[in-house]
Structure 1
C-alpha cells in the first residue's frame, strides 16, 4: 500500500481508477480505518468515472501515530469547552483537514471532490472552510456542525463506541467490533452476519490502535461549534444522512445543510451510522450527481 508525507505526517492511502479522471477524496471517521469505506462504494465511484482516493487519518490504521500524546479527560474537556476554555490537545480537526490537503499536494492534485463520513465529514467541512480553493465540491455524510443544542447520541450507541474490548486478543476485538456495528448500524439494512464478521476480522488484522481514538475525540471536542464558519462556505455542498442514525442524529445532518449556504440535503429512511451494501448504488449516484452538478 502506498504511503506519503503530507502535512509532515506519514499517511497510508489507496488510489483507485484512472489517474486522468476527476478525483474524489474519501475521509473516514472517528477511530475508523479507511477500509470502513466499502470497496464496493469505491468501485462504484470508479465505475462512474472518478479517480477515488481513500486514506487512513493520522492516529489510526497504518498512518502515523501520535504515540504518548496526552489528552484531557473527555467529560472535563467538554465542560471546559462549553464555558469557553480550550485545553491543549495533541492536534486539531484543522490539522487533520490539512493532512488531507497535504495528501492532494503529494499526489499533485490541484482540486478534488471531498467526501467525508462522521468525523470525516467534520474534517471535510474544515477543508471547505480553510482550503476552499482545493475543493470542487463537498459531501458531508452522517456528520454534524458541533452545535451543542442538537440531540445527543442514543445511550446504547455511545456505550458501545466508548466501551473497551475485554482484551486485545483477536476474538475479543472482533466481538467488540460486532457490538459496535450492531449498536450504530442501520436498522433497515442489517448486514449478513458472516460477511460482517469477516470484515471486522479483516480490519482487526490490518491494525489495532485504541490509543488514537481519545486523541481524535479530543480534536472533535476542541473544534466546537462550526456553524459560523460553515456560513462562509461557498463550495457546492451535499449533505447525506440516515433517518435512523443513533450516533449522529438526523438533526445533525439537517443542521449542517442549514448552516452551509445553498447546501442540499438527502435523507434515507432506515439508514443508521454505517455504509450498508444495499445503499452503495444510491450513495454513489448521489455523490456522482452532485459532483457533476458542481463541475
Structure 2
C-alpha cells in the first residue's frame, strides 16, 4: 500500500500503467479510488498511466484533524510532485470536480486536459448534506436520490450493495467523521471567478436527472470556462460511474485522445 504523509494525515494512492501520458482521477464526497478500477483499466489499455487516490476523509486515507478545501487541492499537487508528474490529464467527479477546477485555474501548465463530471463551481448548487441517517433504510433512501429512478428500479441489488457498504462504515465509525470533515471543507466554496483562468480544453458531463447537483450547474461551468464543451446526458442522475459507465469511459478516452 502506498501513502503520502501530509502533516498529521496520510493520503492513500495507487498508480496503474507503465508508460504514457498521465490521467489523474479525483473522486467525490466520501467515494474512493476503488470506483476508478474499471476506468483505469480502459485508460491503461489505451496507453495511459493513471493516478487515483482517496481524498482526506475517504477510504484508506487518514485525517486526524479538521481540514479545509486548500488541503484537498494541495494533496493532488503533492502527489504529483512525489511521483514526478509534471503534467496530467485531470478528471474530477462532484467534489473532486471542484478540486480540479481550482487546480486547473492555478496550475494551468500542469493540466493536459480537464474533464468535469457531475460537478459545480459553487457549493450552493449541492443539495446533499453529510448526514446519511441512523438506519440502513435511511441510508438506502438517501442513496437512491443519487441515481435516476429508472436506474434504481433496474439495479436494486447494486444500489442495496452500495448502501450496505456505507452503512457498514457508519456502524464502525469510519464513514461519518470523514464525511462531515469533507462537507465542512466544501462549505461556502465559490470558484466562479476562477473559471476564466482555466486554459485547458475542458469536457463537462452532467446527468439531466441529477438530484444532487442541478444540471444547470454544468451549464454555468460551460459558460464560464473559455475552451469547454458540455454534454448533458439524458436518463442518468449524479453517479455517472455507475449509471453511464461504459459510455463514460469512451467519452473520456475520446476526449483525452483528441487534439482539438
Give the alignment's TM-score, normalised by structure 1.
0.77
Contact 2:139 2:166 in 1 (8 A): no
Query: After the TM superposition, which residues 153-172 of structure 1 pair with which residues of structure 2 at under 5 Å, given as runs?
Result: 153=127, 158=128, 162-166=131-135, 172=136
Structure 2 contact 207–240 (Cα < 8 Å) conserved: no
Task: Give 1:132's aligned residue.
Answer: 108
CA distance in structure 1 between the aligned counterparts of 2:188 and 2:120, rounded to whole angstroms: 14
State the alpha-carbon separation in 1 of the partners of residues 82 and 250 from structure 2: 28
1:146 to 108, 119, 122: 122
Offset at residue 293 of structure 1 (A): 2.5
Partner Cα separation in structure 1 for residue 149 and residue 74 of structure 2: 35
Supply the distance in 1 between the matched residues of 2:44 and 2:166 (Cα, whole angstroms).
23
Distance between the aligned counterparts of 2:48 and 2:150, measured in 1?
A: 29
Segments of 5+ residues of structure 2 without an aligned counterpart are: none
Name the structure 2 match of 1:2: 2
Question: Which whole-Å deviations, capped at 9, do the CAs of 1:30-55 have from their partners, x for residues lacking one?
Answer: 122232x2422232222332212211
Deviation at 1:19, TM superposition (A): 2.3
The reply to whether residue 211 of structure 1 matches residue 174 of structure 2 is no
Q: Which residue matches 2:82? A: 106
Q: Higher mean Cα deviation, 192-201 or 57-66?
A: 192-201
Structure 1, unpaired ranges of 5+: 70-89, 167-171
Deviations 1:209-257 (A, max 9, x none): 311222222222242x211111111111111100100000100111111
Give CA-to-partner distance per residue, 1:3-26, whole Å, 9 cap, x none: 22358742111212x221211111
Gap change, CA 1:200 and 1:105, over 3 Å in 2: farther
Counting matched residue pairs gives 256
- TM-score, structure 2 as length reference: 0.87
User: What do you get for the CA RMSD once the two structures are aligned?
Assistant: 2.6
Deviations 1:116-173 (A, max 9, x none): 000000001011012222111111100011175x6x63xxxx37x534333xxxxx4x
Higher RCO, 1 vs 2 (CA within 8 Å, ≥6 residues apart): 1
Residue 45 (str. 1) matches residue 43 (str. 2): yes
In the other structure, the counterpart of 2:23 is 24
Residues 51 and 179 of structure 1: is their aligned pair in 2 closer, same or farther, counting only changes over 3 Å? farther
